[in-house]
Chain A
Amino acid sequence: MKTLNRRDFGVAVVAAILLPVTTARAEGDMEVHIDNFVFEPAELKIKVGTTVTWTNRDDIPHTIVSAGKFRSKTLDTDDKFSFTFTNAGDYKYFCSLHPHMTGMIKVE
């Protein structure tokens, strides 16, 4: 249910970016949550220029690391990390403390 809502939101965002409005980029920001050692959504499709913000909602610290691309500080409970994707491509990422936690951002 959550995922569906987010996807609807994503469609709206794409529409917004196509409009020649300078604030469209900020409206396109997307979120990934960490709950129970899982990135949700595990895969996100976004347009170039979108900022993704991760929020750690676990009682255990996590990190967001995409080899050679970006690396967050250690996020304690409720800490956030944002990254703006300026190049298209597939960005695999993981938690360097709990490497079984993996996710993907597809930028087109």
Chain B
Amino acid sequence: MSGHDHDHDGPNRRKVLECMTWAGTGVLWTITGGVPRSLGIIDSAMAADAPGMTFLQISDSHVGFDKPANPNALGTLEEAVNRINAMPAKPSFMIHTGDITHLSKAAEFDNAERIISQTKLDVHYVPGEHDFIDEEVKLYRERYGRGTKGHGWYSFDAGGVHFVGLVNVVDLKAGGLGNLGAEQLAWLEDDLRGKSKSTPVVLFAHIPLWTVYPQWGWGTEDGGRALELVKGFGSVTVLNGHIHQVMQKVEGNVTFHTARSTAFPQPAPGSAPSPGPMKVEDAKLRSMLGVASVNFKQNEQRLAIIDTPLQG
């Protein structure tokens, strides 16, 4: 990130982003009494020492992408998988926050599966808009839709945490942002009913559920409705992809976090004419791609999130 044009942004944009944290290297976050505190740069070995449940997030692998920003997106996905396999302690499972493929081609889904399955981890997927563009819109659902509701939403419990995978890339309205829709929100309300408010909740979806930058469509029209539904819970973590860069924000009991892509970086909000793939020097690319590791310790309110780039 360091080479990026932040210096040209001036104070206005800095003010807009004041509650967001940009992480260029692996940073372990811990939050005590509602105040986020960075423990500094760490490596994956330290993360492995942390007791409790650890799971991984990967995102935006865009298998099939071959443009100048990264001519070999499958290769960098494989590098991410190799890093995961080299972790000293095996994570409990992995979530993938969408855009598995670039064009929803069968071969792209096959290649993604071939590489990701090498982690030998259970992977919980949600779709990105790039996973629903095959003619019949069936390839994602055939592979990952089993046991899900609607366009592919579902929930599960692991390590005392309630996980909810949401779909906000369907039925988008002209001029609007990501969309959950009334049916999904009704399901979410029902899904959370009866859960103890002390249960930590993780919501994950492709497009950020919070409004990052509406000019580029980086937000979810009715994301606020979903956040209303988790308001009473003591610990809520929202994990998203789509914007191909790390952003983090804490609001009350809710921690928002977006993961890097394993394929190509995208520019910081407003820093380029469009949110399209950002071409960086070859030597810098891998410092802008990566995976995230999330650690949950019993009796601690917050989940610690560590973003690890593929390199640097």
Interface residues of A (CB under 8 A from B): 36-38, 58-61, 63, 65, 67, 73-74, 76-77, 92-94, 96-100, 102
Contacts and interface: CB of A to CB of B under 8 A. Distances in A.
21 contacts: A36-B276, A37-B274, A37-B276, A58-B274, A59-B67, A59-B276, A61-B103, A63-B133, A65-B174, A67-B174, A73-B135, A74-B103, A92-B174, A94-B174, A97-B130, A98-B129, A98-B217, A99-B172, A99-B175, A100-B214, A100-B217
A91 to B, nearest CB: 12
Interface of B: 67-69, 102-104, 129-130, 133, 135, 172-177, 214-217, 273-277
Given A61-B102, A61-B133, A77-B67, A99 B274 contact: no
Main secondary structure on chain A at its contact with chain B?
Answer: loop
Nearest to B62: A60
- State the main secondary structure of chain B at its contact with A: loop
Contacts of A93: 174
A63 B177 CA distance: 15
B178 to A, nearest CB: 9
Nearest to A37: B274
A99 B276 contact: no
Contact of A100 (B104, B129, B135, B215): B215
Contacts of B173: 99
A99 B171 CA distance: 10
Given A94-B174, A99-B173, A100-B177, A37 B275 contact: yes
Contact of B274 (A36, A77, A97, A102): A36
Contacts of A60: 276-277
Given A61-B103, A74-B103, A76-B103, A99 B67 contact: no
B76 to A, nearest CB: 16
B174 A102 contact: yes
Nearest to B132: A97
B175 A59 contact: no
Contacts of B175: 94, 99-100, 102
Contact of B68 (A58, A59, A73, A100): A59
A76 to B, nearest CB: 6
Contacts of B273: 36
Nearest to B64: A76
A6 to B, nearest CB: 20
B32 to A, nearest CB: 38
Most buried by B among A58, A65, A96, A102: A96
Contacts of A99: 172-177, 217
Nearest to B174: A94
A93 B103 CA distance: 21
Which residue, of B135, B273, B274, has the highest number of chain A Cβ atoms within 10 A? Answer: B274
Given A94-B175, A99-B175, A38 B67 contact: no
A47 to B, nearest CB: 25
A78 to B, nearest CB: 11
B19 to A, nearest CB: 23
Given A37-B216, A74-B133, A100-B214, A58 B276 contact: yes
Q: Name the 3 nearest CB pairs between A and B, nearest first.
A: A36-B274, A94-B174, A100-B217
B216 A100 contact: yes
B133 A97 contact: yes
A38 B67 CA distance: 19
